[in-house]
Amino acid sequence: MKLTYLYHPVAALDDGVTFFRDELGWEEAWRESDDTVAFWLPDRSAQVMVARTDEPAGPMYLVESVTAWIEAHPAVPIVVPRYGIPGGSVAGFEGAGGNAFYVFDMPDAQ
């Protein structure tokens, strides 16, 4: 598992973009449609993904296969069922203390 994104949902994308770009001065890494923008952390070790959704905030870890990860961790509660993303899939889970985290794969992007 590799920490890749910190998922940060917002009600209004423009407000999120203004905060991370203008207030914090972070560099935009990429955009997808009109609902997701990612920003590099200053050390470029990961990105903050700002998105217009109601899914819970949390870290996102890159894994080889979401399906294999779910099969290997059957006791971890799923809070966001697996769904497709460009190049792969993602699913959300409940971790310690009820905090959400995500695993995603990108086999089609390799």
Three state DSSP letters for 44-108: CCCEEEEECCCCCCEEEEECCCHHHHHHHCCCCCEEEEEEEECCEEEEEEECHHHCEEEEEECHH
- The pLDDT tens digits for 31-82 are 988 889 999 999 999 999 999 988 999 999 999 999 999 999 999 999 999 9
Residue 72 to residue 23: CA distance in whole angstroms: 41
Domains contained in the chain, CATH given: 2-109 (3.10.180.10)
pTM of the model: 0.89
